[in-house]
Amino acid sequence: MSVHSVKLVTIGENLLASNDQAAAHNRDRLSEARVLALNLMASPGAGKTSLIVGLLGALQGRAQIGVIEGDIAGSIDTEKVVAAGAYDAVQINTGGNCHLEANMVERALIDLDLASLDILVVENVGNLVCPTHWALGEHLKLCLVSTAEGDDKPIKYPEIFAISDVIVLNKMDLIELVDFDRDFFYESVRALNPQAPIFEVSCRTGEGLAAWAEWLLSRREELLCVSPS
Amino acid sequence: MSVHSVKLVTIGENLLASNDQAAAHNRDRLSEARVLALNLMASPGAGKTSLIVGLLGALQGRAQIGVIEGDIAGSIDTEKVVAAGAYDAVQINTGGNCHLEANMVERALIDLDLASLDILVVENVGNLVCPTHWALGEHLKLCLVSTAEGDDKPIKYPEIFAISDVIVLNKMDLIELVDFDRDFFYESVRALNPQAPIFEVSCRTGEGLAAWAEWLLSRREELLCVSPS
């Protein structure tokens, strides 16, 4: 569309290649420590932190979970997940950056006791666009979307749905109140990504969280060759 | 935080300066035509298009409204606002760009009959971070946020609240269902931006839309020296 965009893309390619290297390094470290890393991406307010809190409840006593919280500003989410039982949590403030990058995660990993963790959830900055281009070293990309955002998010933000390994639809308790066409949503997601599982949850009521948490544990076993506990 | 970020900022400064020039040019054209331009910014799913539809209903017969729709992909919103009575509408697909830029709006303005318009609403890409840095030529920046996103958005995304001329809180019909602390939200906004008016609306029920629309008309009169109709 614009000369500016073209310039940004050219410059971006070098940065992205360098980012991919750092991400591969992070992934190696995490795999070696048998820590399944999840890159949790969503709009602001879709319920990212609530989903982590739900996971902590669902896997209590069965998995040690660490969290890296990425935010423009503030540490409110880190406080929440620690209170909810996270084994360890690190806050990254990006100071205006609209997404996390691999070297930010690399730095945060220094502060985490990886040997004690089973799962690491990296909560990205709330944004359906920019995080899609920046690998962090995750094993799985999760796209979280809420019924309150409307059923047209896959059509408007196709890339994040296309590249995600799993999609979670939150705020199912509100679905009757917000004109959300479930069939339309599923058809739109399937056109972009035929194979990713879709989990329907309500972090408010707890509905669906156990099934999603079990799936995550089984993915850890498969991807990291860990025996079932 | 990172070398990458520093590089991006340096490069960004040139682009932003060039963008600001294009934005000033757009603003001059719009002011000359007595068209009040609004840069409508929000998360995905906060209700940007519904707010425009609400404005069209509230000012029916009193103002001619044009719309520029910015999306990563799709033209679903342009179809909606035309069906709802927009005088004219232009879709911009950014092809992956996470925000609109002034030269995209400049190009869209060619397709609009400015002499026939009173208000131009530019619906930015759904994103609480990136659009804050890119002026489009607007007279007013509007930050839309919904109760379903939670009361902590000002703390996590401070810049957009700080720079906006008006803040609209949507989905008031859901406020009792979503643990939204109204006082906490107002205190957080006021700490960042003491003077911007805050309007509470529900695009679903129509609550509050008339008051906001009247305010917008009065701002047009003040800013563009137009006599009240």
> What number is the average pLDDT over the span A179-188?
97
Q: Long-range contacts of range A180-183, CB-CB < 8 Å, 24 or more positions apart?
A: A180/A147, A180/A150, A180/A151, A181/A151, A182/A151
**Residue A229 confidence (pLDDT):** 61
Q: Which backbone phi and psi does A86 adopt, to 5 degrees?
A: -60, 140
Q: Are the Cβ atoms of B4 and A15 closer than 8 angstroms?
A: yes
Residues facing A58 on adjacent strands: none
Closest to A58 in 3D by CA, of A114, A141, A119, A115: A119
- Facing residue for A153 by CB, picked from B5, B45, B128: B45
- Whether the CB-CB separation of B137 and B30 falls below 8 Å is answered with yes
DSSP single-letter state for residue A227:
P
| CB-count burial class (<10 Å; 0-12, 13-18, 19+) for A1 | middle
Q: Please name the residue of chain A whose CA is at the shortest distance from the CA of residue B6.
A: A97
Q: Which residues of B touch A171 (CB under 8 A)?
A: 148
**Residue A116 confidence (pLDDT):** 97
Q: Are the Cβ atoms of A4 and B19 closer than 8 angstroms?
A: yes
The first and second tokens of residue B139, run together, are 């007279």
Q: Is the dihedral of CA B133, B63, B71, A92 positive or negative?
A: positive
Q: Are the Cβ atoms of B125 and A129 closer than 8 angstroms?
A: yes
Q: Please name the residue of chain B whose CA is at the shortest distance from the CA of residue A7.
A: B15
Burial A101-135 (b: 16+ CB within 10 A, else e): bbbbbbebbeebebeebbbbbbbbbbbbbbbbbbb
State how far the alpha carbon of B221 is from the alpha carbons of B14, B112, B159, in Å. Answer: 35, 21, 28
Q: Are the Cβ atoms of B44 and A149 closer than 8 angstroms?
A: yes
Total beta-carbon pairs less than 8 A apart between chain A and chain B: 166
pLDDT value at A12 more than 90: no
Q: On the CB side of A208, how many CA atoms lie within 13 Å of its CA?
A: 15
Distance CA B69, CA B92 (A): 6
pLDDT grade, residue B199 (50/70/90)? very high
pLDDT grade, residue A25 (50/70/90)? very high
The mean-pLDDT minimum among A91-105, A165-179, A185-199 falls in A91-105
The first and second tokens of residue A194, run together, are 């035929």
SS3 B94: coil
Distance CA A199, CA B33 (A): 50
- Terminal-to-terminal C-alpha distance of chain B: 52
Provide DSSP, B12-65: HHHHHHHHHHHHHHHHHHHHHTT-EEEEEEE-TTSSHHHHHHHHHHHTTTT--E
Distance CA B156, CA A42 (A): 14
Q: Which residues of B touch A153 (CB under 8 A)?
A: 44-45
Q: Which residues of A touch B156 (CB under 8 A)?
A: 44, 71-74, 76-77, 126
Q: Which residues of B touch A13 (CB under 8 A)?
A: none
Distance CA A197, CA B173 (A): 32
Q: Map out the domains of chain A with their CATH numbers.
A: 3-224 (3.40.50.300)
**Residue A10 confidence (pLDDT):** 42
Q: Which residues of B touch A8 (CB under 8 A)?
A: 11, 15
Residues A211-223: tens digit of each pLDDT: 999 999 999 999 9
pTM: 0.90
Q: Please name the residue of chain A whose CA is at the shortest distance from the CA of residue B159.
A: A96
pLDDT value at A5 more than 60: no
Q: Are the Cβ atoms of A128 and B44 closer than 8 angstroms?
A: yes
State how far the alpha carbon of B60 is from the alpha carbons of B82, B85, B178, in Å. Answer: 13, 8, 32
As a whole-number percent, the residues of chain A with pLDDT over 70 amount to: 94
Distance CA B78, CA B84 (A): 10
- Element of type H or E holding A217: helix A209-224
- Facing residue for A156 by CB, picked from B5, B71, B152: B71
Q: Maximum Cα–Cα distance for chain A, whole Å?
A: 55
**Residue B11 confidence (pLDDT):** 43
Residues A119-147: tens digit of each pLDDT: 999 999 999 999 999 999 999 999 999 99
**Hey, of A157, A175, A185, which one would you mutate to test binding to chain B, going by the most B CBs within 10 A of its CB?**
A157
> What number is the average pLDDT over the span B196-217?
98
Q: Which backbone phi and psi does A53 adopt, to 5 degrees?
A: -60, -40
